Amino acid sequence: MASITIVTLHAFLVGYGSTRAAPTWDEPGHLTAGIAHHTTGRMDLYRVNPPLVRFVAGIPSTFTSASQALPAQEYPGHTRPEIPLAVGYIKTRGGEFMRDLTTARWFCLPFSIVGAITCYRFALELYGGLASVLAVCLWCFSPNVLGHAQLITPDVPAAAIGLIAFCFFNLWLKNANWINLLGSGILLGLAIGTKFTLLIFLILFPIFWIIQTGHAIISAFRLRGHGIGATGRNKIQRFLSEGAQLICILGLGLLVLNGLYGFEGTFQRLDSYSFRSAALSGNPSGRGFIEAGNRFSSTPLGRLWVPLPQHAVLGIDEQKVEFELGKPSYLFGRWQHGGWWYYYAIAVGLKVPLGTLSLLGAALCTLATRRLNAIEWRLFCIAISLFVMVSCQDGFSDHLRYLLPAFPFAFVLSTRFAANSAPQWARVVAIFCLAMTIIASSCAYPHSLSFFNTLAGGASGGPKCILGSNASWGQGILDLIRWQKCHEDRVPLYAALHASYDPTDLGLAYRIPKEGVSIEGELTHRNLPSGWYAIDVNYLYGSAHPIPCGDGTFGTANPGFWTQFQTLVPERIIGNSIYLYFVPGRQEDDE
């Protein structure tokens, strides 16, 4: 009963939060791409991510008049055509877009519910009743899960489907029958269909099986050349049977993945692709666009038939391009082109509640007295593999959300400290750690995306450490619109907002000083015009990210102009992400 109450509360928190958050940077592209998947069958839109979550998010708009607002215009040569498509869609829908987006978010809510239930069931099987309650609470009250479960981005769905896919594969390892095979294969395909990061399962699952059946392989080699008894023959037969079933699991997973793409371009020859990334094109990487090519075109590998959809392969290639070209990244007040391999370790230490970190640390300390069993080793390997995989992509460092697929595996392992075999004092400590997590997360809600723990200095201190979607992803714009409606006399409003669309289409009236946008790379720093200034925390700390100008155009933010507001005291902070200042008159520069 307690778990049902917790999951129900989680669903309410996510559902309500979905109505409060403005469209984040990626969401308009995801929604319009999902609608296009249903209405036109186009799979080239937003192909840097697999389509499962977009399919679900696009369902409600597909069967309403909203689908008719999708621009028919093509964008040839645009590497990310979903972005201008989304801008046109929002301009057509206007204020109705938030209704479309909120409904799409609610359709994606079951992903998070599945994640909560799976955490509960897995921890219950491994460690018992208290651990299962801890696991479901760690998921349901994690500010990172709460924040991203409100969106139609694939990070929380990948975490949820990834864990349940592992659960079914674990069941197959325990009992290799055809029912577990089907469940494992289908869920493997769905997991990869949420996020390409989970392609790593195609490597880890066979490794787990090989380790488990290693004794049979060793026995087969030892018996070679000698008489094989009944026991040896049974081991070899089981090894061959399970090996065939494993191939079926992997094949079924790829079949489901290809089915999500409508089998478009499946089994295309490797040398027929035109790649843009240095890794796949063979052309040297630089700061500009990489010339298209194919490093496999004159090699034997080029004749291989790729068992993946065409747009999945090209989407992976586009992801590689983004990381190879790199982007400006921020850490502890320092901007640089490219990221840091240790960034995600720091981000975890700043954005995960201290109660959760303490519980995870306590669970790791139990290794000194109690070794990991086979299932725990697999959980640990997946969590570490995902962490290492994400950390190695250091072309830019912006988003802790890339690490979310590893979270449920860490949550379940954390509850090891409160297993049925644990002493009473350990169980009390675990409950205290959970209480710390719930209190910290509750204080940040509904602005969970902007959560920072006390090590970072909370929501006000966190942006001084890390930025990007960790601090603001544009989710506070609706709160700014609500503020403006309640304070119509506070004009003019100047704004620097983190959005991939024009906020005026949602009803915000603002403009941007010409000094706030760099023109042809020339940065200017002039006196401040009097008025109200709403500044997204990313620009406040020096981001030169593209910025909507309030007239349907986009410019490049002038960091020198917006960072000078750090010396002023904000009138208020909206949504923990937008700083509101009032400048009463002309303020002379320090120059």
Cα separation values, 194 from 160, 282, 398, 527, Å: 10, 28, 20, 48
Would you say residue 480 lies in a domain? yes
What the block records as the tokens of 247 is 């191939």
Helix (H, G, I), strand (E, B) or coil at 579: strand
* Contact between residue 507 and residue 477 where contact means Cβ atoms under 8 Å apart: no
Residue 515 lies in a domain: yes
What the block records as the tokens of 410 is 């860490």
Contact present, 500 and 86 (Cβ < 8 Å): yes
> Considering the domain boundaries, does residue 433 fall inside one?
no
Instruction: Give, as one character, the DSSP assignment of residue 369.
Output: T
Q: Is residue 502 part of a domain?
A: yes
Q: What H or E segment, with its residue span, contains residue 577?
A: none
Judge whether 498 lies within some domain: yes
Q: Angle formed by the axes of helices 374-392 and 343-351, to 10°?
A: 110
Q: Would you say residue 226 lies in a domain? A: no
The pTM (predicted TM-score) of the whole model is 0.93
**Within a domain: 261:** no
Helix (H, G, I), strand (E, B) or coil at 334: strand
Q: Which token pair is 403?
A: 């690490």
Helix (H) or strand (E) holding 346: helix 343-351
Helix (H) or strand (E) holding 247: helix 230-260
Question: Is there a domain that residue 423 lies in?
Answer: no
482: domain range?
476-583
The total of structural domains in the chain comes to 1
pLDDT, one tens digit for every residue, the chain (591 residues): 788 999 999 999 999 999 999 999 999 999 999 999 999 999 999 999 999 999 999 999 988 877 787 877 666 666 788 988 999 999 999 889 999 999 999 999 999 999 999 999 999 999 999 999 999 999 999 999 999 999 999 999 999 999 999 999 999 999 999 999 999 999 999 999 999 999 999 999 999 999 988 765 665 556 554 545 555 667 778 888 899 999 999 999 999 999 999 999 999 999 999 999 999 998 876 555 667 899 999 899 999 999 999 999 999 999 999 999 899 999 999 999 999 999 999 999 999 999 999 999 999 999 888 899 999 999 999 999 999 999 999 899 999 999 999 999 999 999 999 998 899 999 999 999 999 999 999 999 999 999 999 999 999 999 999 999 999 999 999 999 999 999 998 989 999 999 999 999 999 999 998 888 865 444 444 577 889 999 999 999 999 999 999 988 999 999 989 999 999 999 999 999 999 999 986 544 433
85 strand-pairing partners: none
- Between the alpha carbon of residue 591 and those of residues 10, 118, 527, 529, 559, the distances in Å are 52, 59, 10, 17, 17
- Count of residues in the chain: 591
For residues 276 and 318, give the distance between their C-alpha atoms in angstroms, rounded to a whole number.
7
CA 168 – CA 189 distance, rounded (Å): 12
